[in-house]
Structure 1
Amino acid sequence: MAGEPQADCLFCKIVAKEIPAAIVRETETTLAFRDINPQAPTHVLVIPKSHFPDAASLAAGDPAAAADVLREAGEVAAQEGAVESGYRIVFNTGEGAGQTVFHAHAHVLAGRGLTWPPG
């Protein structure tokens, strides 16, 4: 069921503190931690604590949690000192777009020049 923890989900296990992560922020509804394979000097993932497979299902199923993820992405950027120089928030949806963990998550990327278009 959407929103419920999934036993086979890596990010649900991180939320449950069953798997360690380098946590940088935590709220009642979100968790932010450093990506284990960073693509930029600042690469932090912001996830809802509830399980939804992607950003669209999160927005449809729990709009408040989707807003929390976006707000926390901005807070992470501020905490990391990336507001002045700029940062990117990316949601990958589906394997073809590079999504490898099917628990909605935002990538906060900063600290180097980020080209456009990103794909």
Structure 2
Amino acid sequence: MSESDAETLFERVVAGEIPADVVYEDEATFAFRDIRPQARVHVLVVPRKRYRNVAELAAADPQLLADLVKTAAKVAELEGVAESGYRVVFNTDSDAGQTVFHVHAHVLGGEQLGFFGRLG
């Protein structure tokens, strides 16, 4: 997939052009299940308006970033992991594993999660 395709993928999901298992949506955000889950609960939370990554979003629209985090918490509640614990991850650019260049938060939970990053 080219970067230009990747940049529009989540916009197409939000627009309903690509099917998704929607967990939650509101005026500013859209949450749907990851097609390659890395945990029992793995939901992606995206702003409806596209920003390349979390740093760009934070600089341009801090309120929208706050809304994204609030939606992540709402997803954790809806998925039943708010009490047991969950992880919210933003990958920023290629070295961090970002493959779709529309900022998105991964909400992961529902099981004991391992450590992150390289060990040793």
TM-score (ref. length: structure 2): 0.90
> Does the 8 Å contact 1:35/1:43 carry over to 2?
yes
RMSD over aligned CA atoms reads 1.4
DSSP-derived class of the 2:113 partner: coil
The 1:8/1:93 distance shift into structure 2, 3 A limit, reads closer
Gaps of 5+ in 1: 1-5
Q: Distance in 2 between matches of 1:57 and 1:94?
A: 11
Runs ≥4 in structure 1, deviation > 6 angstroms? none
TM-score (ref. length: structure 1): 0.91
Q: Distance in 2 between matches of 1:7 and 1:89?
A: 21
Q: Distance in 1 between matches of 2:28 and 2:66?
A: 10
Q: Distance in 2 between matches of 1:46 and 1:100?
A: 15
Q: Distance in 2 between matches of 1:46 and 1:98?
A: 16
Gaps of 5+ in 2: none
Q: How many residues align?
A: 113
Deviation at 1:64, TM superposition (A): 1.2
What residue in structure 1 maps to residue 96 of structure 2?
97
Deviation at 1:7, TM superposition (A): 9.4
DSSP-derived class of the 2:11 partner: helix
State percent identity of aligned pairs.
Answer: 56
